[in-house]
Amino acid sequence: MLAIVSVCLVNAGMSSAHADGVDDAFLNAVKNKGINFASPQAALIAGHEVCDELDLGRQKGDVANDVSANSNLDGYRAGYFVGVSIAAFCPRHHATA
């Protein structure tokens, strides 16, 4: 699960993307927390993958654990990534457990 995160996460900076305001806010939040991806597009794909997993009925904590297990992110940053993905791309999951 969330294999896309492990493929996309690298220790590289993000360049500017031609994205809308939501995408820009997401990319800035991720970058400011020190979470780096191979490209802005890779970050956006991984963020949407979080929402896809939640849409399938997975719990936030389980998704965060998968992000952490399949990337170089510690638990805190994996949880942050899940939270910022929800805020940006699937706020319908904000109030769910």
pLDDT for the residue 97: 55
Whether the per-residue pLDDT at 19 is higher than 70: the answer is: no
Percent of the chain with pLDDT over 70: 78
Whether the per-residue pLDDT at 12 is higher than 90: the answer is: no
Q: How far is CA 93 from the centre of its chain?
A: 14
Whether the per-residue pLDDT at 72 is higher than 60: the answer is: yes
Taking the C-alpha atoms of residue 47 and residue 87, their distance in angstroms, rounded to an integer, is 10
**Opening angle at CA 9, ends 7 and 11, nearest 5:** 130
Whether the per-residue pLDDT at 46 is higher than 90: the answer is: yes
